[in-house]
Structure 1
Amino acid sequence: MIISRLSTASQLRVVSSRSLPGARLNQSRSIVGFVRNALGIDPPPNPDEPQVSNRFFPWDQSPSPDLRARAERIKKLALCPVTGKNIEYTCPISGIPTHHSREAWEKDENYHKNKVYEKLKKVNIYEHDLRSGRSFPEFDFPNVQGMDRAVNLQNWDLYFYTRGFYSMDTEFQLATVTKMLSYPLTIASVMHEYSPYSLYPRGPVTLEGLKSISALRYTLYPEQHKSATPKDRPTRIFILGARAESQLPGHVWKQLQYLFPTQSFDIHFIGPECAVNEGKVPSEAISVSGGSSETQPLTKKIDDTLSLVYHPQYFHTLHEAQDFFPYDPYNDIFFTFHPGYASPENEAHWMGDTMKDLLDTKCAIFTTGFNKADMLSDINIVKQKYGKELDMLMEPTKNLFGSTKWELNDLNPQEVYQFNMYIAGFRGKRYHAVKYT
């Protein structure tokens, strides 16, 4: 009976192959596909799929007007590391303008010895991939997590797998998604009960850090504490000096809330560079808390569990006006993403009233850096100026949820970095009560 059914099916395929145009070709393709699968041979690459071969173009000859303009900007603003003159030569390996001339390019020992061009080439192909017009199925993010499935936050791969993300098998897909999710996942990795950061000496978290993180988790997981009382307001996450992170769509920040399904959050973006793209947000979802939208916060309500609040002002101004009082270490946490505390252009701003007011909140403060040197310089200047007034919560360490996408500094085209590569934490010192007799 089984044999006759197979024979009949084969006859139907033969008849259809004779009667339908192109069916014979489809049949041969099916046979080839079967043979490939049986032998474990990978199918030929799709010419539309991102590959180095179809994503590499010299920026000054790029099909993208944006990248051609960026190449011109580099040539106008950056200086050759060998001659100190304007950049006019495009590296043939990376496709990015890097030197004044070919001679200077050949003489740059550091450039060739350290293979700087390899990371620059990745910058090139990542930027072209974003502008390629391909479909981005990796942006189809999962929704609420099933209660029977645990999330693993040990690294990007395990997080994507346990959350049910689209299978990201290429560096291109990882680069685009990790850049967007680096901000909410960096926050979640600190607060979550399955945080990958452990207590010293096995991990970077100090004893004071454990106290602060435990206070937050006390309210984030009330079902684990019989004595916990229901919260009267959402957990507040303050992001100071907000720039690119304030431009992320609401569904990206929703991935943070999905990791805490029973909790609600208000995310406050603070700083003159933060902004909400009102053109892409339904008007009924945005509210202004009095006054004009230029000076008063805009609130974008994603749903009942998540609101994004935009404050186009400096934190010390809002702090002095007591707009956020009272602060609560059990409900509030602060983040500054690569703020550049120690950079010449930012030091005066961050190390003055802003840092004093931040430490005055007594809430946990976590900060990130583009690389290890950037992170250490920021932490060192805070310690030098306010060492006696703060406790370290997390020693500088590699951020497991830093972006995997390489970025380029147009003012120095040999400087490449990744967003949120390192992370550290501190807090204004809390003094124990002293009993006098």
Structure 2
Amino acid sequence: MLRCTATPRILRNGAPIVQKRNIMGFVRNALGLDPPPSPDEPTPANRFHPWDQSPSPDLRERAATIRAMAKCPVTGQEINYTCPISGIPTHHSREAWENDVAYQESTKPEILKKVNIYEHDLRSGRPFPEFDFPLDQDFDRMVNLTNWDLFFYTRGFYSMDTEFQLAAVTKMLSYPVTIGSVLHQFSPYSLNPKGPITLEGLKSLAALRYTLYPEQNRRVSSSTKNSPLRIFILGARAEAQLPGHVWKQLQYMFPETQMELHFVGPESHFDRNKREYVNSSAPIIRRVDETLSFVYHTDYFHVFHEAQDFFPYDPYTDIFFCFHPGFAAPESKENWMGKTMEALLETKCAIFTTGFNEADLKRDMDAVVGAYGKEVDMLMEPSKNVFGSTKWELNDVNPQQVYQFNMYMAGFRGKRYHAIEV
């Protein structure tokens, strides 16, 4: 796997940071004189602890939650046995664990072990130099969006030498970089038949790129050049809590563009002081800098659509993202597949959605097409998201259900009807 080469960089406080692959390190390695690894360096061995004996109180609490709420896949009883491979409670008893042939012959034990060690690494207290993100892109370097490795390299990120570093950083950056990878002129997603983008998708993306790359359109005057790009994130929750410098990585990919991120949903604004979600009758605005602003709307999208708060919509400057919306999920389908979806389709703007896995995304898209098929244009066929998170997550209510954020993506919009003579 390609990794970033080491380059000295400057921290935000002005102090230099020199990565591990410096000249002396190279000489020591060449002579076989490398010192033993630091005990702070994460490894599967030093990051593995059974959750019910974890040094982290919140992981011991999660183990208790699994025991209280989850059911054994073999016996249907409560879970009382911790898998010795993963260190996570998974079965009612050792006998049930041994008899679960499907589990033993699958990759789940090893994936659950990764969940375990990633969670312990984040709570280990080690230095996290990988979180010192780069600032403006150098004018003589082009961002490469082929994969995570090339993105990190061409943006000048800290050298990601371990799976632990990748897991920690890609979980946060998956949201902004997924958006950027769709919008960028060098997007990794190509036109059908070789890629997942449809002809209608190309039309929508061409309109947005017209706004994002004004230097390529100097001969054509347009009011859209003076308008910020509005990115609506519906059903926002975790993504709305990401720090400003994380979302700024999206804006660095389009340095000439002003952006407004509109987080929409009842759980879009979390008050860290009160430690609760806050509702407001008026939009809550937070400016990161002169080129990036956050706007929080603490109700469902259709409420603001019916009040015309977001009017007028413009396919040149507006785009919608729904991260893991659960269009087809029983617990959230009612909120999405009524007034909200109707309002979304009425905007005629591009809508992109992600899923935890291929089946999850296809269920959501089948629900949309099944209910609104004649009113929908597909922009992007369901496909693997190049910038999905590499960190494995766990459903505490079903500990054998593991997933990664934003692993698959698709796009659609409300159908645009061509004018006909009558």
With normalisation by structure 1, the TM-score equals 0.88
Distance, in Å, in 2 between the alignment partners of 1:349 and 1:333 is 20
Kindly indicate whether the alpha-carbon contact (under 8 Å) linking 1:120 and 1:416 is maintained by their aligned counterparts in 2. Answer: yes
Matches within 5 A, 1:282-297: 294-297=280-283
Residue 118 in structure 1 maps to residue 110 in structure 2: yes
C-alpha displacement of 1:417: 0.1
Letter in 2 for 1:311: H
Kindly indicate whether the alpha-carbon contact (under 8 Å) linking 2:237 and 2:268 is maintained by their aligned counterparts in 1. Answer: yes
Q: Which shows bigger deviation, 256-265 or 292-301?
A: 292-301
Structure 1, residues 53-88: CA drift from partner, whole Å, max 9, x if none?
A: 110000000000000000000000000000000001
Where structure 1 has 5 or more consecutive residues not aligned to the other structure, the ranges are: 1-31, 281-291
Structure 1 counterpart SS, 2:369: helix
Q: Which residue in the other structure is 2:212 paired with?
A: 220
Distance, in Å, in 2 between the alignment partners of 1:113 and 1:297 is 51
Structure 2 counterpart SS, 1:55: coil
Distance, in Å, in 1 between the alignment partners of 2:76 and 2:298 is 38
Structure 1, residues 218-238: CA drift from partner, whole Å, max 9, x if none?
A: 111111112142533210000
Kindly indicate whether the alpha-carbon contact (under 8 Å) linking 1:268 and 1:309 is maintained by their aligned counterparts in 2. Answer: yes
Match of 1:357 among 336, 343, 361: 343
Kindly indicate whether the alpha-carbon contact (under 8 Å) linking 1:219 and 1:228 is maintained by their aligned counterparts in 2. Answer: no
Matches within 5 A, 1:395-434: 395-434=381-420
Match of 1:51 among 40, 43, 58: 43
Residue 275 in structure 1 maps to residue 269 in structure 2: yes
Residue 229 in structure 1 maps to residue 229 in structure 2: no
Match of 2:125 among 128, 133, 136: 133
Letter in 2 for 1:94: S
Distance, in Å, in 2 between the alignment partners of 1:312 and 1:34 is 53
Structure 2 counterpart SS, 1:47: coil
Matches within 5 A, 1:178-327: 178-225=170-217, 226-230=219-223, 231-277=225-271, 279=273, 294-327=280-313
Structure whose residues are more often helix by fraction? 1
C-alpha displacement of 1:274: 1.1
C-alpha displacement of 1:279: 4.7
Match of 1:391 among 374, 377, 393: 377
Structure 1 counterpart SS, 2:231: strand
C-alpha displacement of 1:195: 0.4
Match of 1:176 among 152, 168, 171: 168
C-alpha displacement of 1:275: 1.2
Distance, in Å, in 2 between the alignment partners of 1:349 and 1:322 is 19
Letter in 1 for 2:242: L
Match of 1:379 among 358, 361, 365: 365
C-alpha displacement of 1:125: 0.3
Structure 2 counterpart SS, 1:213: helix
Q: Which residue in the other structure is 2:16 paired with?
A: none
Distance, in Å, in 2 between the alignment partners of 1:116 and 1:42 is 35
Distance, in Å, in 2 between the alignment partners of 1:277 and 1:189 is 30
Distance, in Å, in 1 between the alignment partners of 2:26 and 2:339 is 69
Kindly indicate whether the alpha-carbon contact (under 8 Å) linking 1:218 and 1:228 is maintained by their aligned counterparts in 2. Answer: no
C-alpha displacement of 1:52: 0.9
Letter in 2 for 1:178: T
Distance, in Å, in 2 between the alignment partners of 1:100 and 1:152 is 48
Where structure 2 has 5 or more consecutive residues not aligned to the other structure, the ranges are: 1-23
Letter in 2 for 1:229: S
C-alpha displacement of 1:147: 1.4
Kindly indicate whether the alpha-carbon contact (under 8 Å) linking 2:130 and 2:158 is maintained by their aligned counterparts in 1. Answer: yes
Identity of aligned residues (%): 70
Number of positions where the alignment pairs a residue of Structure 1 with one of Structure 2: 394
Shift in alpha-carbon separation, 1:71–1:229, aligned structure 2, 3 A: same
Structure 1, residues 2-31: CA drift from partner, whole Å, max 9, x if none?
A: xxxxxxxxxxxxxxxxxxxxxxxxxxxxxx
Structure 1, residues 245-285: CA drift from partner, whole Å, max 9, x if none?
A: 001000000000000000000000000111144659xxxxx
Match of 1:163 among 151, 155, 159: 155
C-alpha displacement of 1:41: 6.2
C-alpha displacement of 1:396: 0.1
Structure 1, residues 170-229: CA drift from partner, whole Å, max 9, x if none?
A: 000000000000000000000011100000001000000000000000111111112142
Distance, in Å, in 2 between the alignment partners of 1:33 and 1:399 is 36
Structure 2 counterpart SS, 1:394: strand
Kindly indicate whether the alpha-carbon contact (under 8 Å) linking 2:172 and 2:246 is maintained by their aligned counterparts in 1. Answer: yes
Letter in 1 for 2:266: P
Letter in 1 for 2:222: T
Q: Which residue in the other structure is 2:12 paired with?
A: none
C-alpha displacement of 1:296: 1.9
Distance, in Å, in 2 between the alignment partners of 1:228 and 1:113 is 62
C-alpha displacement of 1:345: 0.8
Shift in alpha-carbon separation, 1:279–1:146, aligned structure 2, 3 A: farther
Structure 1 counterpart SS, 2:46: helix
Letter in 2 for 1:96: I
Distance, in Å, in 2 between the alignment partners of 1:367 and 1:33 is 44
Kindly indicate whether the alpha-carbon contact (under 8 Å) linking 1:276 and 1:310 is maintained by their aligned counterparts in 2. Answer: no
Distance, in Å, in 2 between the alignment partners of 1:308 and 1:74 is 36
Structure 2 counterpart SS, 1:70: helix
Letter in 2 for 1:117: P
Letter in 1 for 2:236: A
Residue 75 in structure 1 maps to residue 67 in structure 2: yes
Match of 1:87 among 79, 89, 101: 79
RMSD of aligned residue pairs (Cα, Å): 1.6
C-alpha displacement of 1:422: 0.1
C-alpha displacement of 1:348: 1.2
Distance, in Å, in 2 between the alignment partners of 1:191 and 1:221 is 11
Shift in alpha-carbon separation, 1:151–1:88, aligned structure 2, 3 A: same
Structure 2 counterpart SS, 1:94: coil
Shift in alpha-carbon separation, 1:312–1:34, aligned structure 2, 3 A: closer
Distance, in Å, in 1 between the alignment partners of 2:313 and 2:126 is 46
Distance, in Å, in 2 between the alignment partners of 1:161 and 1:300 is 31
